[in-house]
Amino acid sequence: MEKDNKFDNFESLHNSYCELEKKFTQKCQQAAELERRLEQYNNESGTNVQTSPQTTAEQFYEQHPLARNFKERIDEAMSNPEVQATSDAIKACYINCLESDYRTPQQMAEDEQFLQQYIVNDRKVRDMILQQMLAQTADTRYPVTISGNGGNMSLAQPTRPKTLEEASVLAKNYFK
């Protein structure tokens, strides 16, 4: 069986890995130093030399975390070479996304789906509206009615006719 391995044993593999790790650490340190120098140069000269678009996009998303909600649309717009050529292209794409999705409060109030999802079905909003309605009705005076304690009995004797003539007279007086 032929051996295709570059390393004769585990020790040589381990030594190579350690050497590779040292070189990688050095490269990372060099990259960090170059980025620090670039930032220092930008600050001193007042210019803004940019690194790769990937780095600026990552920095933009760090500075504007809400922009991540529009990442797919921003990336799609940024794929256009004409857009990439402009300065602050990613910021312009983000602003375009915000402007295209912006709705005035009046527009949101007229949107039935929005009202159902965020107003009617929201427990806090519903409780707040009920509290206001109850506060308004608390000051309202209702007419006094007989309470559940029972009524009072009349002290006067009811007038009951004894004959048909007396009933006729009472009815005529009643309808006068």
- The parts of the chain modelled with pLDDT lower than 70 are 1-7, 46-55, 85-87, 142-154
Give the CA radius of gyration of the chain. Answer: 43
Q: Which helix (H) or strand (E) holds 75?
A: helix 71-78
Mean pLDDT of the chain: 79
Burial classification of residue 124, based on how many CB atoms lie within 10 Å of its CB (0-12 exposed, 13-18 middle, 19 or more buried): exposed
| The predicted structure's pLDDT at residue 90 | 83
**pTM for this structure?**
0.40
Two structure tokens written together for 147: 């309470």
| The predicted structure's pLDDT at residue 53 | 54
| The predicted structure's pLDDT at residue 156 | 74
Model confidence pLDDT, tens digit, residues 63-74: 888 888 888 888
| The predicted structure's pLDDT at residue 122 | 86
Two structure tokens written together for 169: 């007279």
| The predicted structure's pLDDT at residue 144 | 66
Whether 78 contacts 57, CB under 8 Å: yes
| The predicted structure's pLDDT at residue 1 | 44
| The predicted structure's pLDDT at residue 164 | 93
Model confidence pLDDT, tens digit, residues 39-62: 787 777 766 655 555 557 788 888
Whether 90 contacts 60, CB under 8 Å: yes
| The predicted structure's pLDDT at residue 48 | 60
